Amino acid sequence: MGNTSRSALTATALALVTLAGCGGGGSGQPDAGSGRDGGSSALDGAVLDGAALDGAVLDGAVLDGAVLDGAVLDGAVLDGAVLDGSSDGAVLDGAVLDGAVDAASPAADVARMVQLCHDWGDIVCGAQQTCCMADERTDASEAECQNRYYLGCDFLFMGEAWTDGRIRLDVGAAEADMDRMRTAAAACDPDAGDGPSKSISGTIGVDGDCTPVDNTLGPGNDASAFWVCEGGLYCDAVMEGSVSRGICRNLETAGGPCWMDYDCDQAAGLMCGDAHVCVPRAADGASCLNWQQCSGGYCDHNVCTSTPHPRWCNM
Helix H or strand E segment including 303:
strand 303-305
Of 66, 65, 82, which is closest to residue 29 (Cα–Cα)? 82
Domain count of the fold of the chain: 1
Domain presence at residue 245: yes
Identify the pLDDT of residue 136. 84
Domain presence at residue 178: yes
The one-letter code for the residue type at 233 is L
**Tens digit of pLDDT for each residue in 160-217?**
999 999 999 898 888 888 888 889 889 888 776 555 556 889 999 999 999 888 655 5
Other Cβ atoms less than 10 A from the Cβ of 173: the count is 15
Domain presence at residue 173: yes
Domain presence at residue 49: no
Q: Which domain holds residue 147?
A: 3-27+105-256
Domain presence at residue 144: yes
Domain presence at residue 152: yes
**Tens digit of pLDDT for each residue in 75-113?**
444 444 444 444 444 444 444 444 444 455 788 999 998
What predicted TM-score, i.e. pTM, was given to this entire model? 0.64
Domain presence at residue 160: yes
Domain presence at residue 33: no
Average pLDDT of every residue of the chain? 72
Query: Does residue 39 sit in helix, strand or coil?
Result: coil
Q: Give CA–CA dist 68/87, Å, rounded.
A: 6
